[in-house]
Amino acid sequence: MRLAKPLNVITMETKYIYASSRAKALETKLLSETQVELILSSKEKLETFKVLQDTFLAPYLAEHEHSDINTALNESMLEAKKILAGIAPEPELLDILWIKYDFYNLKAIIKGKKAGLENDVIKKKCVYIGKYQPSILLKAYEEKKLHFLNKHFNSAAEKAEKTKEVFEIDTTMNLHYFKAIKEIAQKFNNKFVNEYVSLLIDFFNIEATLRIFSLKNNNINIKGVFVQEGTLQKKDMESKSQILELYKRFGGEKLWAEPIKNFKETGDFSMLEKTADEYTVSFLKDKSMSIMSPAPLFAYFSAKKNNAQTIRAIIVAKQAGLPEHDIRVILRRLYT
């Protein structure tokens, strides 16, 4: 006789079915390869706008002039966040997605204050899909009340204020961001989320330590920027060549051959970053095949964000007068 599963096990396996199924359905409404091609090949601004009216962006464009596509994109991302938070059985789990942008905004606030910028100028440098609105974050920073929002915000700000180099501010923010999302992942102890956070930490550790080895006359200790809880260890990162080899653990040697070659020749990190992003997207797509986990929600938000980045990049390039061929060269490939 087959024993029935305990009720709590059944709940754990099924509670994401509705939310994940809904997220997968939403993803089918995002840009198709054909739509991307039409946006790329459109010749005039009005033609581009007409193409976009046949995409997921249409409801938001209806409220704005065709010159205000950026606002429409922002509103589209806010709506995606609202939908996901509304359907998720554990909305707090999605803070892993949102607080990335809070740390980005906090970084913009600290850099802006150091540069003596006015608050209105600082807020224009912020994004609006964090857990907190930039105005709330800015006010909490000025009033020394960041700890009421999140203890990691406060710790990050205190350390970042004492730094001198931009790299150090960025690294400090990233370190505390990972501490924050690790805490969330540990709270929910979800297999997919643990793997996802671990992957983000691994890529951060590789890039951060590689940047340290690339700096001249630096006094930054690797121990100070290394985040625990990934799959890698500090002893694996004792030289540039050793660090570059670590990339190959994620997708194999073929995936990383060109980015590593480019880095060795130019010292430019952009191809390494791009490939890490592509691997992460691929990871999410693979994990989103299961509707019994929160993976489809993460995958949908990632895909929607990449759609917005694609549209924004094309529009900006067209406004700058770049020909279609050049746009294709610089555009991040989001569809495989």
DSSP states along 175-200? HHHHHHHHHHHHHH--HHHHHHHHHH
Tens digit of each residue's pLDDT (9 = 90 or more) over 28-39: 999 998 999 999
Is residue 103 one of the residues assigned to a domain?
yes
Coil, strand or helix: which one is 292?
Answer: coil
Is residue 47 one of the residues assigned to a domain?
no
**Residue 155 sits in which domain range?**
88-189
Is residue 109 one of the residues assigned to a domain?
yes
Q: How far apart are CA 202 and CA 205, in angstroms?
A: 5
User: Percent helix, strand, coil in the chain (nearest 5)?
Assistant: 70, 0, 30
Question: What pLDDT was estimated at residue 121?
Answer: 96
Is residue 51 one of the residues assigned to a domain?
no
Rg value, the chain, Cα: 21
Is residue 223 one of the residues assigned to a domain?
no
Is residue 179 one of the residues assigned to a domain?
yes
Contact predicate 196/182, CB 8 Å: no
Is residue 2 one of the residues assigned to a domain?
no
Residues in CB range of 249: below 8 A, 6 or more apart: 231
**What is the b/e burial string over 200-221, where b = at least 16 CB atoms within 10 angstroms of the residue's CB?**
bbbbbbbbbbbbbbeeeeeebe
Is residue 42 one of the residues assigned to a domain?
no
* CATH number, domain with residue 112: 1.20.1690
> How many folded domains does the chain comprise?
1
Of 229, 224, 329, 333, the C-alpha closest to 279 is 333
Which pLDDT tens digits describe the chain residue by residue (336 residues)? 445 555 444 455 589 999 999 999 999 999 998 999 999 888 888 888 889 999 999 888 876 565 678 889 999 999 999 999 999 999 999 999 999 999 999 999 999 999 999 999 999 999 999 999 999 999 999 999 999 999 999 999 999 988 877 777 888 898 999 999 999 999 998 999 999 999 999 999 999 889 888 875 455 555 567 888 889 988 888 889 999 999 999 999 999 999 999 999 999 998 999 999 999 999 999 999 999 999 999 999 999 999 998 898 888 888 888 888 777 776 654 443
